[in-house]
Homo-oligomer: A and B are copies of this chain.
Amino acid sequence: MALRHAILATLLNEGAASGYDLAKSFDISIAKFWVATPQQLYRELDRLESEGCVEARVVTQEKRPNKRLFTLTEVGLATLAQYTTTTPKQTAIRDDLLVQLQAIDAGDGSTVVANVEERLRGSQEKLAGYQKLRDRILNGRNEPEFFGDAPHVGPYLTLLRGISFEEENIRWCEMTISVLRKRAAVTDSAPGE
Residues in A lying within 8 Å of B, measured CB to CB:
2, 5-6, 8-10, 12-13, 28-29, 31-35, 77, 80-85, 87-108, 111-112, 115, 118-119, 122, 147, 151-155, 157-158, 160-162, 164-165, 168, 171-172, 175-176, 179-180, 182-183, 193
Sampled A-B contacts (15; CB under 8 Å): A6-B102, A9-B103, A32-B98, A33-B101, A35-B93, A35-B94, A80-B103, A81-B106, A83-B103, A84-B111, A88-B115, A89-B96, A102-B158, A104-B153, A147-B182
Query: Which residues of the other chain, B, contact A94 by a CB distance below 8 angstroms?
Result: 2, 34-35, 91-92
Interface of chain A: mostly helix, strand, loop or mixed? helix
Query: Which residues of the other chain, B, contact A183 by a CB distance below 8 angstroms?
Result: 147, 153
Are A98 and B161 touching (Cβ within 8 A)? yes
Interface centre among A94, A147, A153, A160 (most CB of B within 10 A): A94
